[in-house]
Structure 1
């Protein structure tokens, strides 16, 4: 498995920043990503801003659609 870049998310804002950065890097609008993932633009916007309360299943689906993985790492 090749990992090109690893960032650790410590809070919802970190996750939102990663999703926004990847979406923009791929050249997608929020509307396109929302439509593809069958969610509202408002949901995606709030997710990108790090608003708490987003359903983890939907977050993982959006991340997967943008080529992002959600990983768990053990801390020492």
Structure 2
């Protein structure tokens, strides 16, 4: 489970690097500035959620609310 902005940023950075794309490439892919990607990967807690989610999706990170899945099983 990702519990902090820093963990989220680290996950995005790892996924981006695994894809072999630069921070600039990712920024262009989601129509934002490179500075946003730098701040996101550094764990800056004030990063905009919409852009953060777009970045995650662009590098293949799938976010799920596992608690709702658990509730549906009961």
Which of the five TM-score ranges fits, normalised by the shorter chain?
A: 0.7 to 0.9
Structure 2: which 5+ residue stretches go unaligned? none
SS across alignment from 1:9: coil
> After the TM superposition, which segments of 4 or more aligned residues of structure 1 sit over 2 Å from their partners?
none
Alpha-carbon deviation of 1:54?
1.2
Q: What TM-score do you get using the length of structure 2 for normalisation? A: 0.85
Alpha-carbon deviation of 1:43?
0.5
Give the alignment partner of residue 7 of structure 2, picking from 10, 14, 20: 14
Structure 1: which 5+ residue stretches go unaligned? 1-7
Alpha-carbon deviation of 1:73?
2.5
Instruction: Please identify which structure carries the higher helix content.
Output: 2
Q: How many residues get paired?
A: 68
Q: What TM-score do you get using the length of structure 1 for normalisation? A: 0.83
Asked which structure has the greater CA Rg, the reply is 2
CA distance in 2, matches of 1:53, 1:27: 26
